[in-house]
C-alpha cells in the first residue's frame, strides 16, 4: 500500500501541471482581454480614442505582450514561408498569427508557473491586488458556508436514507421519497428568489438580511454578537444550499443501503437474533459506504469552490463569486489560482477516497497495484 501511495503522490505533480497548462490555454482562447475590457478595446481603437501604442503599452504592463526570442521569431518566419511559399512579412498569414499567439502564451505560462513554484499566484488584473490576498479574504466565507451545509446535510440525509431503505416499499418510505423527489426537482435559484421575496423584505416578512455575509461594521462587534450576526445572514443561503443536497444524498444513501440489505449476510445476521440496530449499522451501513465514499471524494474541492449561483444571488463575497467575477473581467491570475487550487484538492480527494475504501472494506488492498 505504501508503494502505491507514493506512486499516486508522485503522479499528482505532472497531472496538476498538465491540467494547469490546458486550463491556461483554454482561458486564453476566450475572446477579449482585461485591457480591452477596461479601455473598450476594439471600439475605442477604431474610433481613434486610443492609439495602438497605448494599447501595446498597457498589454506589456499587464504582462500580456512579451518579446519573443529571436530564434522563435526566425522559426515563425521559416515555418510561414515553408507552408505558404512566400515572404511572410507582406501578408498576415494565419500560420504566423497562430505561432505568434502560441509563443506569447507559452512565455506567459512559463512566467506564471515559475511564480506558482515560489508560492506566488501573481497580481490581479482587475484591481491590482495580490491574488493570494483576495483568496484569503474569500476562502473563510466559503468554508463557513459549505461546512455548515455539509454538517446539516450529512448528519440528517444519510440516517434518513438508511431509515427509508430499512422500511422499503412501505407507505412511510413512499412519502419520504416523494417529498425528497419534490425537493430535488426545485431549482435552487428559484427557491433563493422566493426566500428573498418572502423573508428578506418586500411586501412580506423582513426577518433576514437581503444580502451579504455580515452587517456593515460587524467586525467591531463582540465575538458572540458578531457570530450571531453572521448566522443571521447565512440562514437563507444555507437553506437554499441544503435542500438540494439533502434530497440528493438521502436518495443516494437509500439506494446504496437497499442493495446491501438484500444480501445473504444481512438475512443471516437477522436469523441469529441480532438487534435490528446492530444489523443495520454494523453489518449493513458499513458495506453500503463504498458508493457514499466515492461521492464524498468531491468534498474538498466543493468546500473551496463555493456556489457561484448562491453567492451571486445573496451577494456573498466567497470563492464562487470571486471566480465568476474574475472570469467576466478576464482576470487570468485569479482564475488560474482558483482553478489550480481546485484541481489540487480534487487530486488529493481522490487519494483520500482510496484510503477511505480500505477503512470501509478491509478486503480492498493496494499492494498489487503498488507492485506493478
Which residues does residue 123 pair with via DSSP β-bridges, in sequence order? 130
Mean pLDDT check: name the lowest of 84-88, 114-118, 258-262, 268-272.
84-88
Residue 292 structural domain: 139-371
* In a domain? residue 263: yes
What does the mean pLDDT of the chain come to?
Answer: 79
* In a domain? residue 246: yes
Compute the average pLDDT of residues 17-34. 85
Task: Give the model's pLDDT for residue 360.
Answer: 67
* In a domain? residue 270: yes
Task: Give the model's pLDDT for residue 195.
Answer: 86
Task: Give the model's pLDDT for residue 371.
Answer: 44
User: Would you place residue 250 in the very low, low, confident or very high pLDDT band (cuts 50, 70, 90)?
Assistant: confident
Give the closest residue to 310 by CA, choosing from 371, 365, 241, 235.
241
Which residues does residue 200 pair with via DSSP β-bridges, in sequence order? 206
Compute the average pLDDT of residues 211-234. 83
Per the structure block, which three cell numbers stand in for 324?
465568476
Compute the average pLDDT of residues 35-43. 64
* In a domain? residue 132: no
* In a domain? residue 12: no
Task: Give the model's pLDDT for residue 71.
Answer: 87
Contacts of 173 by beta carbon, 8 Å cutoff, 6+ apart: 164, 165, 167
Give the closest residue to 37 by CA, choosing from 1, 71, 64.
64
Dihedral pair phi/psi, residue 191, rounded to 5° = -65, -40
Mean pLDDT check: name the lowest of 60-64, 143-147, 305-309.
305-309
Residue 215 has pLDDT above 60, yes or no: yes
User: Would you place residue 46 in the very low, low, confident or very high pLDDT band (cuts 50, 70, 90)?
Assistant: low
* In a domain? residue 211: yes
* In a domain? residue 207: yes
Residue 54 has pLDDT above 60, yes or no: yes
**What does the pLDDT look like over 304-344, one tens digit per residue?**
766 788 888 888 888 888 888 888 888 889 999 988 888 88
**pTM greater than 0.95:** no
C-alpha dihedral over 247, 252, 257, 260, to 10 degrees?
A: 170
CATH number where 363 lies:
1.10.3720.10
User: Would you place residue 288 in the very low, low, confident or very high pLDDT band (cuts 50, 70, 90)?
Assistant: confident
How many domains does the chain contain in total? 1
Compute the average pLDDT of residues 52-74. 80
In a 10 Å sphere around its CB, with 0-12 CB exposed, 13-18 middle and 19+ buried, how is residue 35 labelled?
Answer: buried
Interatomic CA distance for residues 43 and 48, integer angstroms: 9
Per the structure block, which three cell numbers stand in for 2?
505504501
Task: Give the model's pLDDT for residue 369.
Answer: 47
* In a domain? residue 364: yes
Mean pLDDT check: name the lowest of 112-121, 227-236, 305-314.
305-314
Amino acid at each position: 500500500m505504501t508503494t502505491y501511495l507514493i506512486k499516486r503522490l508522485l503522479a499528482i505533480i505532472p497531472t496538476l501541471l498538465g491540467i494547469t497548462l490546458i486550463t491556461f490555454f483554454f482561458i486564453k482562447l476566450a475572446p477579449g482581454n482585461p485591457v480591452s475590457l477596461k479601455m473598450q478595446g476594439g471600439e475605442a481603437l477604431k474610433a481613434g480614442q486610443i492609439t495602438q501604442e497605448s494599447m501595446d503599452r498597457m498589454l506589456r504592463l499587464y504582462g500580456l505582450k512579451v518579446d519573443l526570442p529571436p530564434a522563435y521569431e526566425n522559426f515563425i518566419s521559416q515555418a510561414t514561408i515553408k507552408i505558404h511559399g512566400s515572404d511572410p512579412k507582406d501578408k498576415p498569414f494565419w500560420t504566423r498569427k497562430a505561432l505568434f499567439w502560441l509563443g506569447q502564451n507559452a512565455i506567459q505560462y512559463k512566467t506564471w508557473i515559475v511564480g506558482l513554484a515560489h508560492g506566488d499566484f501573481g497580481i490581479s488584473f482587475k484591481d491590482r491586488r495580490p491574488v493570494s490576498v483576495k483568496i484569503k479574504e474569500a476562502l473563510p466565507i466559503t468554508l463557513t458556508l459549505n461546512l455548515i451545509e455539509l454538517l446539516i446535510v450529512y448528519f440528517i440525509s444519510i440516517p434518513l436514507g438508511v431509515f427509508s431503505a430499512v422500511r422499503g416499499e412501505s407507505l412511510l418510505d413512499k412519502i419520504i421519497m416523494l417529498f425528497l423527489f419534490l425537493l430535488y426537482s426545485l431549482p435552487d435559484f428559484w427557491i433563493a428568489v422566493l426566500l428573498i421575496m418572502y423573508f428578506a423584505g418586500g411586501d412580506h416578512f423582513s426577518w433576514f438580511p437581503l444580502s451579504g455575509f455580515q452587517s456593515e461594521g460587524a467586525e467591531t462587534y463582540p465575538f458572540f454578537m458578531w457570530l450571531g450576526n453572521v448566522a443571521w445572514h447565512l440562514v437563507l443561503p444555507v437553506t437554499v444550499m441544503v435542500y438540494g443536497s439533502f434530497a440528493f444524498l438521502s436518495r443516494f444513501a437509500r439506494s446504496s443501503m437497499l442493495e446491501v440489505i438484500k444480501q445473504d449476510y444481512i438475512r443471516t445476521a437477522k436469523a441469529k437474533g441480532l438487534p435490528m440496530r446492530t444489523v443495520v449499522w454494523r453489518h449493513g451501513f458499513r458495506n453500503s459506504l463504498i458508493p457514499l465514499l466515492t461521492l464524498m471524494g468531491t468534498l474538498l474541492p466543493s468546500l473551496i469552490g463555493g456556489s457561484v449561483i448562491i453567492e451571486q444571488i445573496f451577494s456573498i463575497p466567497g470563492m464562487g463569486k470571486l471566480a465568476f467575477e474574475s472570469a467576466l473581467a478576464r482576470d487570468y491570475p485569479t482564475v488560474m489560482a482558483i482553478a489550480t487550487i481546485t484541481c489540487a484538492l480534487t487530486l488529493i480527494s481522490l487519494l483520500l477516497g482510496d484510503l477511505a475504501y480500505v477503512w470501509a472494506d478491509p478486503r480492498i488492498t493496494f499492494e498489487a497495484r503498488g507492485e506493478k
